[in-house]
Amino acid sequence: MLRPLNPSLPPWREMRAWIVGASSGIGAAVARALLERGAHVALSARSADGLREAAGAYLAQGTAVLEPLDFTDGTAVAGAWKRVAGRFGHVDLVLIVAGTHQEIRAWELTDRDARALLETNLHGPIGTVAAIVPGLLAQGRGAIGIVSSLAGYRGLPKALVYGASKAALINFAETLYLDLRPRNVGVYLINPGFVKTPLTDRNRFRMPHLIGADEAARAILAGLRRGDFEIAFPRAFARQLALLRHLPYRLYFAAVRRATGL
Ligand SMILES: NC(=O)c1ccc[n+]([C@@H]2O[C@H](COP(=O)([O-])OP(=O)(O)OC[C@H]3O[C@@H](n4cnc5c(N)ncnc54)[C@H](OP(=O)(O)O)[C@@H]3O)[C@@H](O)[C@H]2O)c1
């Protein structure tokens, strides 16, 4: 058997996790799944109401704590990290789930929209990693999970800037792994396919292999437990897109046009 790529995480009951982007969708579902398994979880996003709803009864029980913030604000992230690490003593896992989506085609592209999308989907995660790495290295353990997307594998229609932000995050996570794994800090790259959340509820096209947020959370927890570097799901869709990744351009472009009609 091959050894897992990441150091093992503690049992869920002993886990201290910080989830950035926990007020809805995938992040809220992962927060709930961890809380149900007895973990202590700090939940962050801009909407305090959304965070309170995601934390539910675990807030009163004291296993959930709320840290509302905008993760593109480096000072806010640094302050929250200090409080979370101080409260928990150490942090086993920081999951950076927050992100946004906007359909953009070539003739709709504006510098303003592109910058706004990149600010959230790229600078938000990278700035958050910058704020936490010194603390994780000082702990000598812990892990970072970054939510990218299967849409980051290759160019897809309507994902002109979104896809670029997610492709960049994949590369970022790979390089982060090479730096941090030898220092006993794990890195997980999480690549979901289509998950039913407020973000995809806006889509007007048929989403193949669409799954619910709770199923996505289960896939993420299973991947974390296995110590995988990449956690890509749903499996069948991820496998199809991984194959497409290796096609020569002539075949790839034809396959995408056939599949999307665009
Ligand atoms: N759903 C899918 O099919 C799918 C597929 C592949 C990848 N993904 C990725 O999965 C992640 C979660 O998406 P989702 O579908 O669960 O969408 P969602 O329900 O819209 O959740 C997005 C989360 O990010 C938070 N967020 C956004 N901007 C933020 C900011 N500036 N500061 C702090 N938090 C912020 C939101 O909270 P506030 O608005 O309260 O700040 C919310 O908690 C995203 O990175 C997305 O790209 C989703």
Residue 3 lies in a domain: no
Residue 187 lies in a domain: yes
- Nearest 5°: the CA angle 124, 122, 262 is 135
Instruction: Report which residue type is found at 38.
Output: G
Position of tokens 């809805």?
24
Angle between helical axes of 74-88 and 124-139 (0-180°, round to 10) = 30
Q: Would you say the CB of residue 27 lies under 6 angstroms from ligand 1?
A: yes
Number of domains in the chain: 1
- List the one residue out of 185, 88, 182 whose CA is nearest residue 129: 185
Residue 141 lies in a domain: yes
Q: Would you say the CB of residue 98 lies under 6 angstroms from ligand 1?
A: yes
Residue 144 lies in a domain: yes
How many angstroms is it from 249 CA to the middle of ligand 1?
31
Confidence of residue 206 (pLDDT cuts 50, 70, 90): confident
CATH code where residue 30 lies: 3.40.50.720
Residue 7 lies in a domain: no
Residue 125 lies in a domain: yes
Residue 33 lies in a domain: yes
Q: Is 249 known to be catalytic?
A: no
The one catalytic residue in 162, 177, 249, 252 is 162
Tens digits of residue pLDDT in 182-198: 999 999 999 999 999 99
Using CB atoms within 10 A of its CB, is residue 244 exposed (0-12), middle (13-18) or buried (19+)? middle
Q: Give the residue numbers spanning the domain of 228.
A: 12-260
Residue 5 lies in a domain: no
Alpha carbons 205 and 193: distance in angstroms, whole number: 14
Tens digits of residue pLDDT in 150-168: 999 999 999 999 999 999 9
For atom 30 of ligand 1, the residue with the nearest CA is 70
Tens digits of residue pLDDT in 76-128: 999 999 999 999 999 999 999 999 999 999 999 999 999 999 999 999 999 99
Three-state secondary structure of 61-87: HCCEEECCCCCCCHHHHHHHHHHHHHH
Q: Is the model's pTM score more than 0.85?
A: yes
